[in-house]
Amino acid sequence: MDKHIIFFDLDGTLLNENKIVPRTAKNAIQSLQEQGHEVAIATGRAPFMFDDVCKELNIDTYVSYNGQYVVLKGEVIYTNPLNKDALDLLTNLAVSNNHPVVYMDHEDMKANVPEHEYITESIRTLKIKQFPTHDPAYCENRDLYQALLFCKDGEEKPYSEVFQQFDFIRWHPLSVDILPSGGSKAEGIDKIIEVLNIPKGNQVAFGDSLNDLEMLKAIEKSVAMGDGHELAKKAAKYETKSAGEDGILYGLKMLGLLS
């Protein structure tokens, strides 16, 4: 058996529009595992936002926070926290602009304001159990792997111009991810590949969004979802159907990994 490793993005890829794993995708992953392939998740989400998916699919290897917190077979093998001093300065600017900030580590997320409609509206679309509670001091004395800045499209530009230590990736009309500059899913994937030593020709990735671009460009057998962002489709080598149209199963068959 020619062992492959397959990385799946979550939202819009492994998860359909209702934020559940379609039955065909679940069965496909089980078949991959039974054949001896490595199956992993590569997501912008925090680990606590998809632990239920890991349990459901028996997956213990993942790239989370767009590459900033990487786990291989249940063990943390790489972390890349945010610059604390720069994050403090960014928070001060955000407060003056009435732009809330949420701080995130591997266990929880906390907001620097008691409540805000932008936080409520955007986090609600993730359909997760957790919701950020108020703790403006959560950024102190701990490593944070991502923050969320809540602002309208285009309002993140002044932040990106000032804070070169961070990358800003929009994931919702009212929110952007704040990540260490240069960090990406592709970088996190490299940390796993270094350990497992699986050749490039046996590496596969499925994705659909802007935070998947580096991954889709770097992986030799990359697949974009049919309803994904146009830039994701351009970055990928192949295109499958949407998650709701059994796109995972279709894509795996297209690659010859399932019959």
Catalytic positions are 9
Contacts of residue 68, defined as CB under 8 A and 6 or more positions apart, other chains included, come to 79, 80, 81, 145, 146, 179, 180, 183, 188
- Which amino acid is it at 219? I
d(CA 181, CA 165) in angstroms, rounded, equals 5
HSE, side-chain direction, 13 A CA sphere, residue 192: 31
d(CA 25, CA 223) in angstroms, rounded, equals 15
**DSSP for 146-205, written as a single string:** EEEEE--TTTTHHHHHH-TTEEEEEEETTEEEEEETT--HHHHHHHHHHHH---GGGEEE
d(CA 37, CA 182) in angstroms, rounded, equals 29
Q: Which single residue is written with the structure tokens 């266990």?
A: 107
The pair of three-digit structure tokens given for residue 243, joined into one six-digit string: 């998650």
Helix (H) or strand (E) holding 34: helix 23-34
Cβ atoms < 10 Å from Cβ of 139: 20
The pair of three-digit structure tokens given for residue 140, joined into one six-digit string: 């102190």
The pair of three-digit structure tokens given for residue 44, joined into one six-digit string: 């912008």
Classify 229 as helix, strand or coil: coil
